[in-house]
Amino acid sequence: MKLRQLPHALQRWLFRVSGPERAPIELGQRRIFVLPTRFGLSLGLTLTVMLLASINYTLSLGFALTFLIGSVGWVSIHHAFRNVVGLSIAPGRAEPVFCGQPAHFGVILSNPGLRPRLGLHLAPTRQPQPGAGLFDIPGDASVVRDIELPTTARGWLRLPRLTLETHHPLGLIRAWSLFQPDLRCLVYPAPEPAGPPLPGGGEGAAGDGGSGPGRDDFAGLRHHQPADSPRHIAWKAVARGGPWRTKDFDGSTATDILLDWSSMPPQLGTEARIARLTRWVLEADRAGGSYALALPGRRLPQGRGAPHLHLCLSALALHGHADA
């Protein structure tokens, strides 16, 4: 084992967190750690000096004040420990984001007791978030905390180990626990900033004289399908209490598009091809047409709408990954 890996291995053994944990994560007594803060250490040093001075000069009031303050500090250990023990943690939601955008992980903290938990702070263990602020959990209630992480690569981004801590009630004692909820966020590839326009499709392509489902002229209404684009829904008819209908358009513009990996220039690398296909997928979705995606070893059929968009972007995000 390398020397730089020794602290991480020591923490993993000491705090008993070796990877993602199944929900719910219960913070029992053996998972809570308590140590004095800097303020607590300073107070302890001050009390030691006061005790020595009281012994040296036989000061009864000095003894009383020293033990009174010391007892308050001792009781604060109990309160800090009780402020964390017994909490339950579960993973929340993590919506997909594009690479370069921050990923947001929802973490659900539940307080099964009637006693409120005050002055808590939650942040990644290796990436503290000073601006996250303190929060409270009322009795017999739950709160959802948002953990924000930067994204630098496409694919799955797993929530790292988190630290929940408190300095309540006096700031003398730090009680904390470490855990890692089983939660991950899908990071879509970043689209190419600029490049060639969206390629034409196969069936019903421009110039074949066909009259396909284009975007030029309004042709009428048809029954709504879940894959239809929201921008083509006849919202006025829906607002009047009528059934859901989707607008149909006629024109010579093709809407069946094939986005093919192999059709791009051979000098483009893997990530450049993925970035270009991502941009084309987004443009095809905005156009409201039907499009298919062909990748090495995988082909997604024609489709449209939000589910098809997510399917294509997910395939691009996980292309070449072992967990695809």
* Alpha carbon distances (Å) from 178 to 16, 150, 181, 215, 296: 9, 21, 10, 55, 42
- Tell whether the model's pLDDT for residue 192 goes beyond 60: yes
Q: 306-315 — which CB contacts under 8 Å span 24+ positions?
A: 306/230, 307/226, 307/227, 308/227, 309/281, 309/282, 309/285, 310/96, 312/259, 312/281, 313/96, 313/188, 313/189, 313/278, 313/281, 314/96, 314/186, 314/188
Structure tokens at 213: 């489902």
Structure tokens at 198: 């969206």
Question: How many CB atoms neighbour CB 40 within 10 A?
Answer: 20
Structure tokens at 82: 């009780």
What per-residue confidence (pLDDT) applies to 141?
A: 96
Q: Where are the domains of the chain?
A: 11-187, 212-317
Say how far apart CA 227 and CA 46 lie, in whole Å.
70
Contact between residue 181 and residue 90 where contact means Cβ atoms under 8 Å apart:
yes
Higher pLDDT, 276 or 255: 276
Reported as a pLDDT band with limits 50, 70 and 90, residue 256 is: confident
- pLDDT tens for residues 158-191? 999 999 999 999 999 999 999 999 999 999 999 9
Cis bond upstream, residue 20 (ω within 30): no
What per-residue confidence (pLDDT) applies to 9?
A: 60
- Tell whether the model's pLDDT for residue 134 goes beyond 80: yes
Question: Which regions of 94-140 does DSSP assign to beta strands (E)?
Answer: 97-98, 103-111, 117-124, 135-137
Q: Which of 113, 108, 166, 119 is nearest to 139 (CA)?
A: 113
> Which helix or strand (DSSP H or E) is residue 163 part of?
strand 162-166
